[in-house]
Amino acid sequence: MNGSREKEEMSKIEGEKISAVLFDLDGTLVNNYEGIYSCLNETFDKFSIPRRSYQEVVSCVGGSILLTIKKLLGDVPNLNDIGQYYAERFNDHALIGLKPLPYVAEILSALKERGKKIGLLTNKAQDASEIILKHLGFARYFDSICGTTLHSVRKPDVEFTQRALDELGAAAGESLMVGDSQYDYKTAKNISMYSAMVATGATDIDTLRDIAPDALGVFPSMKELAKGVWNMDI
């Protein structure tokens, strides 16, 4: 679908079917890369591992912290020990450089006013996710917050997504996943849920279009996603 026809169809889907929205966190609602980078620096120093550049870290974020570390370091025998130390230390870094992405607060407020159920579905640790949402004043908009532990199930595992939907009391066919990566798209695809993608994280818009062919749309910003999916003027 293209142009006005695409917008018309998305509006129809939103109005008739979508009652719940699951949001990713990093790269979708917030920029938390400085905190991640800072905690990885401390972790690598602890294990006498050379630091990686900021851009290297950002390009590897997604999936899980263990996957991020593996992307950065390769197959290291003490991966779990490194990941465990990071997990134990991250809360002290969580607010470093933390920024909400533009228009997120307005979008969450508008969705709440429209009576939508709102959930967070993130591969970030549960406690860190709650700290971030509370600090930014976003927690009040969420009916459910689903984060992870170091070795728990995570996106795009159907079990994890179903848990989030159950907490919202929502059916997959009436729900939308909003995210910025292949993990978010696969999360929706694996459970037959709608998806909409935003290129505000580590994945550029052309790559997102390639990996998310069935998404309602791939947008350069949350403002444009809100207009395209919910016909919001913010």
User: Is 15 a residue whose pLDDT tops 60?
Assistant: no
Amino acid identity, position 32: N
Would you state the structure tokens that stand for residue 29, as one six-digit string?
A: 């609602």
Rg (the chain; Cα; Å): 17
pLDDT digits (tens, 9 = 90+) for 119-130: 999 999 999 999
What is d(CA 148, CA 65) in angstroms, rounded to the nearest whole number? 10
User: Is 112 a residue whose pLDDT tops 70?
Assistant: yes
pLDDT digits (tens, 9 = 90+) for 138-151: 999 999 999 999 88
User: Is 1 a residue whose pLDDT tops 50?
Assistant: no
Q: State the Cα torsion 56-92-182-233 to the nearest 10°.
A: -110
- Domain coordinates in residue numbering, the chain: 3-30+101-230, 33-92
CB atoms within 10 A of CB 62: 23
Give this prediction's pTM.
Answer: 0.92
What is d(CA 21, CA 84) in angstroms, rounded to the nearest whole number? 31
- At 17 the pLDDT is 80
What share of the chain has pLDDT > 90, as a percent? Answer: 89
pLDDT digits (tens, 9 = 90+) for 80-94: 999 999 999 999 999
Q: Is 31 within 8 Å of 130 (Cβ atoms)?
A: no
Q: Among this protein's residues, is 184 annotated catalytic?
A: no
Fold of the domain spanning 3-30+101-230 = Rossmann fold (3.40.50)
As a whole number of Å, the end-to-end CA separation of the chain is: 24
Catalogue the E-assigned strands of the chain. 20-23, 30-31, 99-100, 117-125, 144-148, 175-179, 194-198, 218-219
Helix (H, G, I), strand (E, B) or coil at 3: helix
What is d(CA 228, CA 224) in angstroms, rounded to the nearest whole number? 6
- At 5 the pLDDT is 59
pLDDT digits (tens, 9 = 90+) for 156-192: 999 999 999 999 999 999 999 999 999 999 999 999 9
Q: What is the mean pLDDT of the chain?
A: 93
